[in-house]
Chain A
C-alpha cells in the first residue's frame, strides 16, 4: 500500500513478513554448512572416509539381515577354512567368521561412539571452564589436564577392570574417563580465543550470566577441533577395546573383534583366518575413522595450501 506520508524520494519498500525474516537469517547458516560440506567433499580422504563410515553404520544396523549365520550359531564345521559354505571360515566352535564380524561391528561402533562421547563431554566442560574463567580455575584445571595427559592410562584401565569387572559398560566408561585430556586442551585453546571476541564481551555487558555464555556461545563455537579429535578418539577407543579383549578383559559375553583375536590366538597356525579377518576389520574401521578425522581437520585449516596431506 502506498503510504501517503512516505517520502517519494526514498525507495519504496514492501512490508516483510516475520516468516521471510526468519528465512533470510537461516540462509547464511545453510549456505555456510553447504560451503563447508563442499570443502569436505573435495578432500579425497575425507570423502572416502565418510562413505566408509556410512557403510559401516549400515552394516552395524542391518547386521542381522546381512549375516549368513546367526550371531552365536554353532555349526558343525569347526575350524573350517574359508570356502563356499563359510566365506571367511569358522572358528574353533564352528561359528561363522563373517557373521561374527558383521555383528561385531555393532560393538566396535558402540564402544567408539560412547567412549568418544563421554570423553568429549568431560573434556569440553573442563576445557571451556578453564579457558573462559581463567585465573586459578585455569591453573588448577590445566595442571589436572596435563597430569592426566601424561599418565599411562592403559594400566590404570587394566587395574580398574580387574577390580570392578569387565562388562562392556565399564569398558566404555573407563575409556571415556581416561582420554578426555586432549579434548580439554583443544577446548581450552578455543575458549581462550573466543572469550575475547566482541559478541562474547557484548553478552557479558548485556548481563548474561557466565554459565549462559559458556553454554550458548563458547562451547558451540569452539566445538570444531573437538569434533575432529573425536573421530580420532573413536578410532583409539576401538583399538583400546581390542587390546583389552586381547588380554581377556573385554566383555566375555560379546564377540567383539578383539575378543575374536583373543580366542583365535590359541590355534593360530591351524586356523589363521579366525585371527586375520577380525584384525582386518579393525584396521579398516580405524582407517575409515582416521580418514574422516583428516577431512574434518582439513576443513578447519585456514591455509590449505601447505601441510595438508591430500
Chain B
C-alpha cells in the first residue's frame, strides 16, 4: 500500500513539473517578450525591467532561466500580481479555501446523491419512469454550469428573493462564530446547487449501469441459486463491485468540478479562484494566471491522489498492479 501511495505521489510530482514547464514554455513562446508578459504592461519602467531581469535571469540562456524560474517557485515565489500588486502566492492563499469549500462540498454531495439515486433507480424503478429520470438527468448534464447558475439566480434571488445574489457573506452585517457559518451556508446554497445539478447525473448514470451489470453477472446468479439472502448479496457483493467505476469517474471528474466551480464563482461573485482568474484574464495578468494554473493543477493532482488511495483501499487488486 505504501509503495502504491509513493508511486502515485511521484505521478503527482510529474504532473506539477509538466505544468511548470508548460508555464515556462508558454511565457517564452507567446507573442511579445517575457518581460512584457511578466510586467504586464507594454512599456515597463526601467527599474521593473532590471528587477525582472535579475530575478528571472532573462538575458541568460534558456536552461539557466528555467533553473532560476524553478528555483523561485520552490521558494514559494510565484511572482507578483500586476492588478493587485501583491504576491501571487498570498492572493491564491486567500482565495483557494473558498473555492475548495465550494468544490469539495459540491463534489462529495453529487457523488453521494448520484450513488443513492443510481442504486434506487437500478433496483426499484420501473422502466417507464427510468426513461423520464434519464432524460432529466441528461438535460442537467447538458447545461453549461454558468448558465444554470444565472437562471437559478434569476429565479431564486431576483424573482423570489429568498436567497442572496452573490458573495460569500452578507456585506451589511459582520457575523462571527456560528452566525458567520450560517451566513456562509446561506450564500453557499445556490452555487453549490448549480454544481450538484450538473455533476450528479454523471454518477447516477454510472452507478445505475454498473449495478445493473453486477446484478446480471454470473456470480450473483450463482449466489442467488445457492440461496443467499437477496439483501446480503446486494450489500456485500453487488454494491462493492458497482461502486468502483463510480469512484474512478469521481477521480476523473475532479478537474472538471474545479473548472465548473470557477465559472459558477464568477456568476455568484464567490470570493474564490474563479473571480481571480477572471480578473487575470481580463487585465492580462499573466503572472497571476500562471500561478492560478499551477495552484489548480496541484489541487486537482492531490485530490486525484486521495481518490486513488481510497480506491486502492476499497479494491485490493489495484494495489498490486
A-side interface residues, number (CB < 8 Å): 46
Asked if B297 is at the interface of the complex by the 8 Å CB criterion, the answer is: yes
For window 239-279 of A, CB contacts with B under 8 Å fall at 239, 242-243, 246-249, 258, 261, 265, 268-269, 272, 275-276, 278-279
Given A162-B281, A162-B284, A279-B147: A150 and B15 interface contact (C-beta under 8 Å): yes
B residues within 8 Å of A by Cβ?
Answer: 11, 14-15, 18-19, 22-23, 26-27, 30-31, 37, 130-131, 134, 138-139, 141-148, 150-151, 153-154, 158, 205, 209, 212-213, 215-216, 252, 255, 258-259, 262-263, 266-267, 277-278, 280-282, 284, 286, 289-290, 292-293, 296-297, 300-301, 304
- Inside 8 A of B145's CB, which chain A residues have their CB? 243
The residue that A268 contacts in the complex, of B23, B142, B150, with Cβ under 8 A, is B150
Interface CB pairs A-B, < 8 A, 8? A156-B22, A158-B289, A243-B146, A248-B278, A261-B150, A275-B150, A307-B212, A309-B209
Do B144 and A162 touch (CB < 8 A)? no
Rounded to whole Å, the gap between the CB of A219 and the closest CB of chain B is 25
Q: How far is the CB of B100 from chain A (nearest CB, A)?
A: 14
Chain A residues numbered 123-167 whose CB sits less than 8 Å from any CB in chain B = 146-147, 149-156, 158-160, 162-165
- Separation of A305 and B142 alpha carbons in the complex (Å): 26
Shortest CB-to-CB span from A157 to chain B, Å, is: 10
Say yes or no: B289 contacts A159, CB within 8 Å: yes
| Contact between chains at B216 and A156 (CB < 8 Å) | no
Q: Is A310 an interface residue (CB 8 A)?
A: yes
Interface flag for A111 (CB, 8 Å)? no
- The answer to whether B141 and A290 have CB atoms under 8 Å apart is yes
A18 to B19, CA, bound (A): 60
* Least Cβ–Cβ distance between B294 and chain A, in angstroms: 9
Residues of chain A at the chain B interface (Cβ within 8 Å): 146-147, 149-156, 158-160, 162-165, 235, 239, 242-243, 246-249, 258, 261, 265, 268-269, 272, 275-276, 278-279, 282-283, 286-287, 290-291, 305-307, 309-310
Main SS of the interface on chain B? Answer: helix
Q: A164 and B154 in contact (CB under 8 A), knowing A150-B15, A150-B300, A152-B296? A: no
Query: Which residues of chain B are near A290, meaning CB under 8 Å?
Result: 138, 141-142
- In the bound complex, what is the Cα–Cα distance between A125 and B302 (angstroms)? 30
Closest to B147 in A: A279
- CB of A276 within 8 A of CB of B142, answer no
- Nearest first, the 3 A-B pairs at minimum CB distance are A163-B30, A286-B142, A279-B147
Q: Given the complex, which residues of B lie within 8 Å of A282, measured CB to CB?
A: 142-144, 147
Residues from chain B with Cβ under 8 Å of A150 in the complex: 15, 252, 255, 300-301, 304
Find out whether the CB atom of B296 lies under 8 angstroms from the CB atom of A155. Answer: yes
Hey, which chain A residues are within 8 Å of B252, CB to CB? Answer: 149-150
Which A residues touch B19, using CB under 8 A?
151
> Considering only CB atoms, which chain B residue lies closest to A144 in the complex?
B18
Nearest to A148 among chain B residues (CB) is B18
Contacts of A243 in B (CB 8 A): 144-146, 259, 263
A269 touches B154 (CB 8 A): yes
A305 touches B216 (CB 8 A): yes
Residue of B18, B27, B130, B259 with most chain A CB atoms under a 10 A cut-off: B259
CB distance from B43 to the nearest CB of A (A): 19
Most buried by B among A162, A258, A278: A162
The answer, among A162, A163, A276, A310, for a CB contact under 8 Å with B151, is A276
**In the bound complex, CA of A248 to CA of B278 (Å):** 9
In the complex formed, the residue of B with least CB distance to A243 is B263
Question: Are B139 and A147 in contact (CB-based, < 8 A)?
Answer: no
User: Are B216 and A147 in contact, CB atoms less than 8 angstroms apart?
Assistant: no
B26 lies within 8 A of A307 (CB)? no
**Which residues of chain A are near B289, meaning CB under 8 Å?**
155, 158-159, 162
Residues from chain A with a CB closer than 8 A to the CB of B142 are 235, 282-283, 286-287, 290
Q: Inside 8 A of B212's CB, which chain A residues have their CB?
A: 306-307
Which of A156, A246, A268 is within 8 Å of B154, CB to CB? Answer: A268
Structural contact, B134 and A152, CB atoms closer than 8 A: no
**Once the chains are docked, how many angstroms separate the CA of A247 from the CA of B30?**
20
Smallest beta-carbon distance A292→chain B, Å: 12
| B213/A306 in contact, CB under 8 A | yes
For residue B143, which residues in chain A have a CB less than 8 angstroms away from its CB? Answer: 279, 282-283, 286
Query: Closest CB of chain B to A246's CB: distance in Å?
Result: 5
Cβ-neighbour of A159 out of B26, B31, B148, B215 (below 8 A): B26
